[in-house]
Amino acid sequence: MRTLLISQAFLLIAIFAAAQTERQLNLVPMPSSVQLGTGQLRIDQSFSIVATGARDASLERGQQRFLAQLSQLTGIRFRPRTGGGVAPPTLQIRVEHAREETQKLGEDESYHLAATETWAQLNAATPLGVLHGLQTFLQLVEPTANGFVVPVVNINDQPRFAWRGLLIDVSRHFIPLDVLKRNLDGMAAVKMNVLHFHLSDDQGFRVESKRFPKLQTEGSDGQYYTQSELREFLDYAHDRGIRVLPEFDMPGHSRSWLVAYPELASSPGPYRIEPSDAGPDPVIDPTQEATYKFLDKFVEEMGKLFPDAYFHIGGDEVSGKPWDTNPKIQEFIHAHGMKSNQDLQAYFNQRLLKILEKHHKIMVGWDEVLHPDLPKNVVVQSWRGQQSLAIAARQGYRGLLSFGYYLDLMWPASRHYVVDPMSGDAATLNAEEKARILGGEGCMWSEWVTSEILDSRLWPRSAAIAERLWSPAEVQDVGSMYARLGRISRHLELLGLTHESGKARMLQRMVAAEDISALRMLADVVEPVKDYTRMDGVKGPWDFRAPLNRLVDAARPESDVARRFQDAVQAYLKSGYKDRVAEEQIRTSLAAWRDNDRKVRSLLQQSFLLHDVAPLSEDLSALGDAGLYALDYLGKGEPSPQAWRTQQTELLERAKTPKADLLLMVVAPVQQLVEASARQAPGQ
Amino acid sequence: MRTLLISQAFLLIAIFAAAQTERQLNLVPMPSSVQLGTGQLRIDQSFSIVATGARDASLERGQQRFLAQLSQLTGIRFRPRTGGGVAPPTLQIRVEHAREETQKLGEDESYHLAATETWAQLNAATPLGVLHGLQTFLQLVEPTANGFVVPVVNINDQPRFAWRGLLIDVSRHFIPLDVLKRNLDGMAAVKMNVLHFHLSDDQGFRVESKRFPKLQTEGSDGQYYTQSELREFLDYAHDRGIRVLPEFDMPGHSRSWLVAYPELASSPGPYRIEPSDAGPDPVIDPTQEATYKFLDKFVEEMGKLFPDAYFHIGGDEVSGKPWDTNPKIQEFIHAHGMKSNQDLQAYFNQRLLKILEKHHKIMVGWDEVLHPDLPKNVVVQSWRGQQSLAIAARQGYRGLLSFGYYLDLMWPASRHYVVDPMSGDAATLNAEEKARILGGEGCMWSEWVTSEILDSRLWPRSAAIAERLWSPAEVQDVGSMYARLGRISRHLELLGLTHESGKARMLQRMVAAEDISALRMLADVVEPVKDYTRMDGVKGPWDFRAPLNRLVDAARPESDVARRFQDAVQAYLKSGYKDRVAEEQIRTSLAAWRDNDRKVRSLLQQSFLLHDVAPLSEDLSALGDAGLYALDYLGKGEPSPQAWRTQQTELLERAKTPKADLLLMVVAPVQQLVEASARQAPGQ
């Protein structure tokens, strides 16, 4: 058998030596090495899979899951392979080692996948590599005129960074575990390997503590995970090659702790979980011994529940107010010769670090934990930027980048995509220092996210971050990224994610009418406002319990329709107004938008959720009109009249203003058409 | 408190006495009495619910579920009501009795629901009534210009029939319990109260038996429900007011039994679960004492697992061949003075009945079990028609109608809707006999159904059957039914059913392209072939393991687009070609279809799953063209030329022929346009 495998491997090499690698495969993240051959491996009902080498229960479940997902992608049900006298398997897996009981940072995740016209082979040192290779295989499957196929291909792949994470905040809004599970499937599909579980914050403590049960009963609205639920969830993540990093944010962001145990607070309180600016900033008191007794027991309990070697203590955005105004704390600061609140936080972190070490955990914290007094095995997660990461690395700390990966800011995928942990100041590090940069994490803060919105905010944009962290640094083509992102987006929907279907459902709920196609057309060209604009616009204290059921909540963070329209306008302008295909596409869109306001108006009037959207719809119609006129001028080769352009400029300015927390995303390309129409048409 | 409630009740009566009942509410099934008032009850974040009267754990879970479903319909998260000093509840529930441990046939399911502008009241004798009333409340909620509201209304409601069932066959294709659970939610939403669980058939035995484990291990492909999974599932059904009637089909339809235990067979076998016509017809041998020993233990075990008082033994379509050809069985027939195989089946049923009685179960069987020797407490389920039901009722048997409710035949909802258990021969029964007709059951035989297709085949058509079985016999308006069915269809999608979203997903899977709108347009006007045409078209033995991933599997059983087009054509013709709105609608559809073939062609070429669909698309384009010409003739008021019409007749005949197991559903209305164009336009 061994001889046979080797001779087949030689055959593979021979095939690929001759093959061309012109066509790009629809893979996200792009593997480090792909050779595309000619021909295809057919996937039909006879497909089967066999693993040899090390035996591993998690890998066996992985194979079953692979077959189930292959069924979801094809509608073919595969039968379990029965022994004796059957045809050779379509996919042969060989793995050298079984898995570690607890997944470790930096395990070998590489794999080699080769497909010929008759069979495929997946080799890896560890089951983690196999899991990644199986996901690559699934992404290769596509329907063609000849059936579902995988192209003849030879892939060698391994990650650029060992830590490819996604933070999900379940405190601001509780997210049920089944929703998280399908998003773990999404992470596995794009080879992310760390779920950073932001489990406590001001708005809720989300884990059952048996030692301190008031944490979940008083410190939440009753929505939390029991330990037995979590254990099953952690197994689910482990099976998918995903580590779970728990974060308990302290000493700030800790209102939920202090509602439950006000004796730990730096100010007398009282504390309530409520949407109010009233009451003291919630900060744990680092000067009491009782705090550390509490934390010792707490870390012991949570450290056992979450087996990962790393433990995130938060440490960000600690308000100094409760410390400044508490004489006992001021006295402590002076008595210990500290110069600032920062020193006090460092003291807290050092004490906490000892507790973590006692319970065999490695500390991870946000930028602010960085302090000369801390030992070098602390991992710093940077929300401030590559500079802060570089400073830490030079000092000997390991680091993670999250600056530039905040998914709640509603940036386009392209903007996240260009953020590289090794760029900026980090580019100037030496090799040893660079090795300290472990990777990065996308961050999904959930101020505006509920369980029905989460998928929409994560996908497919997280896949762009996943590619940045997995693929070679040279993989940078944005056009290619978007083409592949569209494909992976549909792939993820087929696997059960709801980023697209959820939007349809939320729109349907807004208005009782049966035909909502006009509303969909409007929804397709808007995006939620960017950065912190939505929060900044909140009048009074932000009410985290308010319904998230408006158009801004249903709208996707990035409008594909607008991006494609922008591309068409670029192509048309670049062609000197000669690209007829692009022109036709532009004209059709503009005309549809122009006519849409008439159709959508009665829908908007029917629902209180849509009243504030009416001006957006009017602007869209006006933009359609303006664009069509501009096209006409360009077509005739005569400059548009100045007076007309002045009018359009007013419209464009108005249309740029956010309304109902939404931005109309086709303003810029229409503006380009209007501006182009001012000039003489070139070369006629 | 009691005085207050009474005086509020008087107030309600006063309001409704003055109210008009013009507008029809979007309820399915339609309640027996509805009085619509003026004004609305607003549903916002302050909504709360309080139950008084009998305490019942299942009802408390029902209230939680109600709030969760109200959240799904509105996007509002409701907080648990906390005691002390809070505002009065929006919805006050009062129930007289707690639930029975096992739900019984004929329990009181009535309820009274009244909503004013400030609060609502739901009263019922039993928690079952409350559950139904809560579903009515949910259906009343809709988004308006003033917020989510429930209209001021007064509803008195109770079912016409006590048995409102849905059969789901999980043998031909295994359906996982989570898929069944969401369909139980669908059943509860339309007040169906029996899941008839067809658990065994030739293609698989789907329940774990601890006494006879080979039933599930040898008698299935490994896909079956464990007893502990089933217990949890039965609790889930019970919580929703749904009885679960297990069916183990015998002595026929029993290949899966005989694979496991060939010693029970009437022929020596061997038996294998395979798509083959080879081998003997599988029938249990009724002449062996060993059979009854086996069944005694089996019924004891299953009778305990399924607590319902009723137990379905199948009994349909027993092949006589294995009995005719087995000398031992022939000898038994003669020795016992039997005249026919029917007598032998009756003997089997009598023996089985004794076993059921021993284990406190009431027998239910299909038409064929009816035999003078059987006692009168057997329930006969008729797949043959009202005549068969009437015969049984006259003889003293209770009965259920399933004839006319076979959802796998792909009939339109309207065709099921007009089937009434009390019509035909049953209409001639006297009151006592009529009382024996317990209700009916929709039947979902799963030859062409997998877990991703099930919802599409059940909904919303099952809701039409549910209305027939719940609402007063006089509720018969098909137009009203369709208007309300559209609304309930969207309602069910919001509650988590996938009958619409599943179609989108399956279409997306067929072709790698991003824009599949042209494919959707085609898919929207086709329906799967009717009755048993698909099965009749299968070449060779039917392979139940073949993939169900073609357009016929994605297409909905009933095309809304085609129905609405048909309605528009009717309106246009009836108006003497003067209805301009209808004409515009017709013209737009026809033009889009005419142009669609050009757009869809490249998609169809790209996927092997769509090759055989090309002729359908060509026909659709030709129909669009023909319809537009006919409209033009009608518009001009001149008859169309005879030669042209002859051509169109050929096209129409061709277009009527099923292709790829699909029917184009817009042929008839286009034909009407063409035929109308032959005549002089009226009154111009």
Give residue-wise pLDDT tens across range B101-111: 999 999 999 99
pLDDT at B18: 41
* CB of A351 closer than 8 Å to CB of A340: no
Taking an 8 Å cut-off on Cβ atoms, the answer to whether A611 and B505 are in contact is no
Whether chain A has a CB inside 8 Å of the CB on B455: the answer is no
Structure tokens at A181: 């599970």
Q: Report percent pLDDT > 70 for chain A.
A: 94
pLDDT at B540: 86
- Measuring CA to CA, how many Å separate B655 from each of A209, B504, B662? 67, 25, 11
Testing the interface with B: which of A142, A487, A505 to mutate, by most B Cβ within 10 A? A505
A146, A222, A548: residue with CB nearest B608: A146
Structure tokens at B70: 């109200």
Q: What confidence category does residue A274 fall into, taking pLDDT thresholds of 50, 70 and 90?
A: confident
Helix, strand, coil content of chain B in percent (nearest 5): 45, 15, 40
Instruction: Kindly name the residue from A317, A331, A638, A653 that is annotated as catalytic.
Output: A317
Q: Which residues contact B6 (CB under 8 A, 6 or more apart)?
A: none
pLDDT at A207: 98
Tell me the average pLDDT across B499-525: 96
What is the rounded CA–CA span in Å between residue A203 and residue A129?
Answer: 38
CA distance A148 to chain B (A): 8
Asked whether residue B6 carries a pLDDT value surpassing 50, the answer given is: no
Does residue B192 sit in helix, strand or coil?
coil
Residues of B annotated as catalytic (active site), given as ranges: 317
Q: What confidence category does residue A682 fall into, taking pLDDT thresholds of 50, 70 and 90?
A: low
- What pTM value is reported for the model? 0.94
What is the rounded CA–CA span in Å between residue A271 and residue A269?
Answer: 5
Whether chain B has a CB inside 8 Å of the CB on A605: the answer is yes
In eight-state DSSP terms, residue B155 is: E
Asked whether residue A6 carries a pLDDT value surpassing 90, the answer given is: no
Asked whether residue B10 carries a pLDDT value surpassing 70, the answer given is: no
Rama region for B75: left / alpha / beta (φ>0; ψ in -120 to 50; rest): left
What is the rounded CA–CA span in Å between residue B208 and residue B216?
Answer: 6
A73, A80, A143: residue with CB nearest B511: A143
Q: Which helix (H) or strand (E) holds A457?
A: helix A454-458
Taking an 8 Å cut-off on Cβ atoms, the answer to whether B512 and A142 are in contact is yes
Asked whether residue A559 carries a pLDDT value surpassing 90, the answer given is: yes
Residue in chain B lying closest to A490 (CA) = B508
Q: Which residues contact A663 (CB under 8 A, 6 or more apart)?
A: A526, A527, A528, A529, A530, A656
Whether chain A has a CB inside 8 Å of the CB on B608: the answer is yes
* CB of B663 closer than 8 Å to CB of B527: yes
Taking an 8 Å cut-off on Cβ atoms, the answer to whether A494 and B511 are in contact is no
Q: What confidence category does residue A12 fall into, taking pLDDT thresholds of 50, 70 and 90?
A: very low
* CB of B379 closer than 8 Å to CB of B397: yes
CB neighbours (10 Å) of residue B372?
A: 6
Q: Please write the tens of the pLDDT for every residue from A425-461.
A: 999 999 999 999 999 999 999 999 999 999 999 999 9
Mean pLDDT of chain A: 94
Q: Which residues contact A274 (CB under 8 A, 6 or more apart)?
A: none
What is the rounded CA–CA span in Å between residue B637 and residue B120?
Answer: 57
pLDDT at A1: 38
Torsion of CA B229, B233, B238, B242, to 10 degrees: -140
In eight-state DSSP terms, residue B424 is: G
**Maximum distance among all Cα pairs of chain B, rounded to whole angstroms:** 83
Structure tokens at A206: 């989300």
List of chain B residues whose C-beta atoms are within 8 Å of the C-beta of residue A505? 493-494, 501
Strand partners, B312: B247, B364
Torsion of CA A648, A654, A660, A665, to 10 degrees: 50
Taking an 8 Å cut-off on Cβ atoms, the answer to whether A45 and B546 are in contact is yes
Tell me the average pLDDT across A165-193: 98
CB neighbours (10 Å) of residue B333?
A: 20
Q: Please write the tens of the pLDDT for every residue from A512-525.
A: 999 999 999 999 99
What is the rounded CA–CA span in Å between residue B78 and residue A221?
Answer: 11
Q: Report percent pLDDT > 90 for chain B.
A: 90
Taking an 8 Å cut-off on Cβ atoms, the answer to whether B142 and A512 are in contact is yes
Q: Which residues contact B643 (CB under 8 A, 6 or more apart)?
A: none
What is the rounded CA–CA span in Å between residue A404 and residue A424?
Answer: 12
pLDDT at A24: 80
When computed from its CA atoms, the radius of gyration of chain A, rounded to whole angstroms, is 28
**Phi, then psi, of B63 in degrees rounded to 5:** -65, -45
Tell me the average pLDDT across A491-500: 97
Taking an 8 Å cut-off on Cβ atoms, the answer to whether A501 and B501 are in contact is yes
What is the rounded CA–CA span in Å between residue A674 and residue A648?
Answer: 8
Which residue in B532, B518, B563 sits closest to B668, CA to CA?
B563
Whether chain B has a CB inside 8 Å of the CB on A494: the answer is yes
A490, A505, A608: residue with CB nearest B144: A608
Q: What confidence category does residue B682 fall into, taking pLDDT thresholds of 50, 70 and 90?
A: low
Testing the interface with B: which of A609, A610, A613 to mutate, by most B Cβ within 10 A? A609
- How large is the ipTM? 0.93
CA distance A406 to chain B (A): 25
Testing the interface with A: which of B47, B71, B509, B549 to mutate, by most A Cβ within 10 A? B509
Residue in chain A lying closest to B495 (CA) = A505
Taking an 8 Å cut-off on Cβ atoms, the answer to whether B608 and A45 are in contact is no
Q: Please write the tens of the pLDDT for every residue from A641-656.
A: 999 999 999 999 999 9
CA distance B192 to chain A (A): 24
Three-state secondary structure readout of B19-42: CCCCCCCCCCCCCCEEEEEEEEEE
pLDDT at B24: 80
What is the rounded CA–CA span in Å between residue B3 and residue B387?
Answer: 53
CA distance B509 to chain A (A): 6
Q: What confidence category does residue B82 fall into, taking pLDDT thresholds of 50, 70 and 90?
A: low
pLDDT at A9: 46
Tell me the average pLDDT across A143-167: 98
CA distance A116 to chain B (A): 21
Rounded to 5 degrees, what angle do the CA atoms B192, B193, B198 make? Answer: 100
Asked whether residue A80 carries a pLDDT value surpassing 70, the answer given is: no
Which residue in A7, A241, A8 sits closest to A115, CA to CA?
A8
Residue in chain A lying closest to B71 (CA) = A547
Q: What confidence category does residue B7 fall into, taking pLDDT thresholds of 50, 70 and 90?
A: very low
CA distance B669 to chain A (A): 22
* CB of B577 closer than 8 Å to CB of B634: yes
Q: Please write the tens of the pLDDT for every residue from B583-599.
A: 999 999 999 999 999 99
Q: What confidence category does residue A278 fall into, taking pLDDT thresholds of 50, 70 and 90?
A: low
Taking an 8 Å cut-off on Cβ atoms, the answer to whether A608 and B77 are in contact is no
Tell me the average pLDDT across B651-680: 96
**Phi, then psi, of B67 in degrees rounded to 5:** -65, -40
Q: Which of A265-274, A481-490, A578-587, B349-358 has the lowest mean pLDDT?
A: A265-274
Q: Please write the tens of the pLDDT for every residue from A198-233.
A: 999 999 999 999 999 999 999 999 999 999 999 999
CA distance A504 to chain B (A): 9
Strand pairing report for A437-444 and A163-169: parallel
Taking an 8 Å cut-off on Cβ atoms, the answer to whether B549 and A76 are in contact is yes
List of chain B residues whose C-beta atoms are within 8 Å of the C-beta of residue A145? 605-608, 611
What is the rounded CA–CA span in Å between residue A69 and residue A250?
Answer: 40
Taking an 8 Å cut-off on Cβ atoms, the answer to whether A75 and B494 are in contact is no
Asked whether residue A20 carries a pLDDT value surpassing 60, the answer given is: no
CA distance B605 to chain A (A): 6
Half-sphere exposure of A432 (CA within 13 A, CB side): 4
Whether chain A has a CB inside 8 Å of the CB on B82: the answer is no
Q: Please write the tens of the pLDDT for every residue from A318-369.
A: 999 999 999 999 999 999 999 999 999 999 999 999 999 999 999 999 999 9
Q: Please write the tens of the pLDDT for every residue from B381-427.
A: 999 999 999 999 999 999 999 999 999 999 999 999 999 999 999 99
Taking an 8 Å cut-off on Cβ atoms, the answer to whether A74 and B222 are in contact is no
* CB of B399 closer than 8 Å to CB of B380: yes
Which residue in B551, B578, B590 sits closest to B669, CA to CA?
B590
What is the rounded CA–CA span in Å between residue A319 and residue A250?
Answer: 11
Q: What confidence category does residue B85 fall into, taking pLDDT thresholds of 50, 70 and 90?
A: low
Which residue in A105, A442, A567, A584 sits closest to A307, CA to CA?
A105
Q: Please write the tens of the pLDDT for every residue from A371-384.
A: 888 889 999 999 99
Taking an 8 Å cut-off on Cβ atoms, the answer to whether A514 and B548 are in contact is no
Testing the interface with B: which of A149, A456, A501, A564 to mutate, by most B Cβ within 10 A? A501
Rounded to 5 degrees, what angle do the CA atoms A590, A592, A594 make? Answer: 65
Whether chain B has a CB inside 8 Å of the CB on A146: the answer is yes
Structure tokens at B402: 């399933």
- A-facing residues of B in 214-273 (CB < 8 A) are 221-222
Testing the interface with B: which of A67, A543, A607 to mutate, by most B Cβ within 10 A? A607
